[in-house]
Structure 1
Amino acid sequence: MLYAQTTAAQKRRALREKLASGDLVRMPGAFNPLSARLIERKGFDGVYISGAVISADLGLPDIGLTTLTEVAGRGQQIARMTELPAIIDADTGFGEPMNVARTIQTLEDAGLAGTHIEDQVNPKRCGHLDGKSVVDADTAIKRIRAAVDARRDPDFLIMARTDVRAVEGLDAAIDRAKALVDAGADAIFPEAMRDLGEFEAMRSALEVPILANMTEFGKSELFSTQQLRDAGVNLVIWPVSLLRLAMGAAGRGLDALASEGHLRDQLGAMQHRADLYDLIDYEGYTRFDADVFDFTVER
């Protein structure tokens, strides 16, 4: 009932232990708190919260228009509704190194298990679009050092994302990743890798966990979890997939409503009311206050 019983500290420790186990940590992207609960129900290892999804949810493009307050607020809403650890996208850290430090402590307070800070020029672009620009190595290193120095819980995962691959090539991306690890990054998010060989090259060059971004319609092939395990990847995200599935279904439903004037033929594609009530634990509220829930839903 209400929020998760697992504390933020426990979730962070669980994520660290899962990463240390050598198994692949699977984190689908939640587009709202209810979808985070569904991710948990389906047996995944964690929840990812995408900056692109937060932007899209506000009707905005993913070009650095969201604020720390908006991102941390949405992150808290999602993280508190699941027993799973949640990692959130913090873009470029919302400013200069002091702003990055504040970002880390704000996300800690919001109950997140970790975040990643990227090395793009602010305002950033979606990592799978052309025309990106990255900051110099010194600026990228200062962002990560500020994040690490600001962290109060040593289990809060600070990941460095590098977009250098698309700008300067794989060798430059590996060099940048090594420098970010030296600056204190706990893990590396190498954006827009082209093939499994590039992930394998990153794996060979680094001793920290690496993440694979399996976003649709992007620069990377959509590899299976087994292929990623075999390449030595430690964590995989599907950041926008659930939002794309939901919006695709919503669009088809609206088309049917516009053309047919009813949704009777769409009931099979909908989540049943009973399933929704089960997911939000309606009966748990009954045990707390019988006046809240005093009916059953017939299937």
Structure 2
Amino acid sequence: MLYATTSASEKRRLFRERLATGELLRFPGAFNPLSARLIDRKGFEGVYISGAVLSADLGLPDIGLTTLTEVAGRGQQIARMTELPAIIDADTGFGEPMNVARTVQTLEDAGLAGMHIEDQVNPKRCGHLDGKAVVDDDTAVKRIRAAVDARRDASFLVMARTDIRAVEGMDAALDRARALVDAGADAIFPEAMRTIEEFAAMRAAVDVPILANMTEFGKSELFPAQQLADVGVNIVIWPVSLLRMAMGAAGRALDTLDAEGHLTGRLDEMQHRADLYDLIDYEGYNHFDTSVFNFTITKD
């Protein structure tokens, strides 16, 4: 009932332990707290919180318009609703290295298990669009050092995302990843890898966990989880998939309403009321309520 029973610090500790095994951990992207609980219920290993999804949820493009307060607030709402660890997209850290430091501590306080900081120039662009620009090595390294130095819980995962592959090529991506690991990054998120061989090359280049972003309609082929595991990828995310599925279904439902005036023919596509009540533990709330308010009104 209400929120997760596992503390944020315990989620982080367990996540780091499991990450150290080398197995592939699957982190579908949650677009709201309820979807995070569904991810948990379906047996996945973690929840991812995408900056693109947070922006889209506000009706905004993913170009760095969201604030730390908005991201941390939504991150907290999602993270506290699941027993799973949640990793959040912190874009470029919301400013200079001191801002990155504040970002880390704010996201720790929000109950996240980890975050990633990218090396794009601010305002950033979606990682799978053209026209990106990246900062120099020194700036990228300073962001990661600031994040690592600022965290208070050693289990909080500081992941470095690099977008340099699309700008300067694969060799530059490998060099940047090594520099970010040397700066203290716990894991590497190489954005917009184009082939499975590029993931394998990144795996060989660094000795920390690496993440694969399997976002639809992007630069990367949508490799199956097992294929990623076979080349040593440690975390795979599907950041926007559930939002895309939900919005696609919503669009089709609205078209049906417009054309037919009802949704009778689409009832089998909906989450049943009983399934929703089970997911939100309606019975648990009802039991709690009746155990507290168990008085009766008597007549004098």
Fold shared, TM-score > 0.5 on shorter chain: yes
Query: Does the 8 Å contact 1:119/1:134 carry over to 2?
Result: yes
The answer to whether 1:137 aligns with 2:137 is: yes
Q: 1:244 is matched with which residue?
A: 244
CA distance, structure 1, for counterparts of residue 102 and residue 131 of structure 2 = 29
> What do the CA deviations read for 1:136-160 (whole angstroms, capped 9, x no partner)?
0000000000000000000000000
Give the 3-state SS of the residue equivalent to 1:26 in structure 2: strand
Q: 1:163 is matched with which residue?
A: 163
What amino acid is aligned across from residue 258 of structure 1 in structure 2?
Answer: D
Query: Does the 8 Å contact 1:27/1:47 carry over to 2?
Result: yes
Give the 3-state SS of the residue equivalent to 1:129 in structure 2: coil
CA distance, structure 1, for counterparts of residue 62 and residue 187 of structure 2 = 23
Give the 3-state SS of the residue equivalent to 1:289 in structure 2: helix
CA RMSD of aligned residues (A): 1.1
What amino acid is aligned across from residue 205 of structure 1 in structure 2?
Answer: A
Query: Does the 8 Å contact 1:158/1:185 carry over to 2?
Result: yes
Q: 2:199 is matched with which residue?
A: 199
Give the 3-state SS of the residue equivalent to 2:158 in structure 1: strand
What amino acid is aligned across from residue 235 of structure 1 in structure 2?
Answer: I
Give the 3-state SS of the residue equivalent to 2:87 in structure 1: strand
Q: 1:291: how far off?
A: 8.2
CA distance, structure 2, for counterparts of residue 14 and residue 250 of structure 1 = 36
> What do the CA deviations read for 1:43-89 (whole angstroms, capped 9, x no partner)?
00000000000000000000000000000000000000000000000
Q: 1:220 is matched with which residue?
A: 220
Q: 1:21: how far off?
A: 1.1
Q: 1:22: how far off?
A: 1.3
CA distance, structure 2, for counterparts of residue 284 and residue 81 of structure 1 = 15
Query: Does the 8 Å contact 1:2/1:81 carry over to 2?
Result: yes
CA distance, structure 2, for counterparts of residue 166 and residue 181 of structure 1 = 20
Q: 1:226: how far off?
A: 0.5
Q: 1:110 is matched with which residue?
A: 110
CA distance, structure 1, for counterparts of residue 244 and residue 290 of structure 2 = 38
Greater shift after overlay, 17-26 or 207-216? Answer: 17-26
Query: Does the 8 Å contact 1:286/1:292 carry over to 2?
Result: no
CA distance, structure 1, for counterparts of residue 66 and residue 284 of structure 2 = 35
Q: TM-score, normalised by structure 1?
A: 0.97
Q: Where in structure 1 do 4 or more consecutive aligned residues deviate above 4 Å? A: none
Q: 1:290: how far off?
A: 2.0
Q: 1:73 is matched with which residue?
A: 73
Q: 1:292: how far off?
A: 10
List aligned pairs for 1:39-58, cutoff 5 A. 39-58=39-58
Q: 1:267: how far off?
A: 0.5
Q: 1:283 is matched with which residue?
A: 283
Give the 3-state SS of the residue equivalent to 1:290 in structure 2: helix
Q: 1:297 is matched with which residue?
A: none
What amino acid is aligned across from residue 68 of structure 1 in structure 2?
Answer: L
Greater shift after overlay, 34-43 or 13-22? Answer: 13-22
The answer to whether 1:34 aligns with 2:37 is: no
What amino acid is aligned across from residue 169 of structure 2 in structure 1?
Answer: G
Q: 2:298 is matched with which residue?
A: none
Q: TM-score, normalised by structure 2?
A: 0.97
Q: 1:287: how far off?
A: 2.0
What amino acid is aligned across from residue 22 of structure 1 in structure 2?
Answer: G
CA distance, structure 2, for counterparts of residue 112 and residue 250 of structure 1 = 29
- Provide the aligned length of Structure 1 versus Structure 2: 293
Q: 1:178 is matched with which residue?
A: 178
Structure 1 residues not aligned, in runs of 5+? 294-299
CA distance, structure 1, for counterparts of residue 281 and residue 147 of structure 2 = 37
| Structure whose CA Rg is larger | 2
CA distance, structure 2, for counterparts of residue 155 and residue 195 of structure 1 = 31
Change (3 A) 1:77 1:292: farther
Structure 2 residues not aligned, in runs of 5+? 294-300
CA distance, structure 2, for counterparts of residue 242 and residue 21 of structure 1 = 28
What amino acid is aligned across from residue 37 of structure 1 in structure 2?
Answer: R
What amino acid is aligned across from residue 197 of structure 1 in structure 2?
Answer: E
CA distance, structure 2, for counterparts of residue 4 and residue 287 of structure 1 = 18
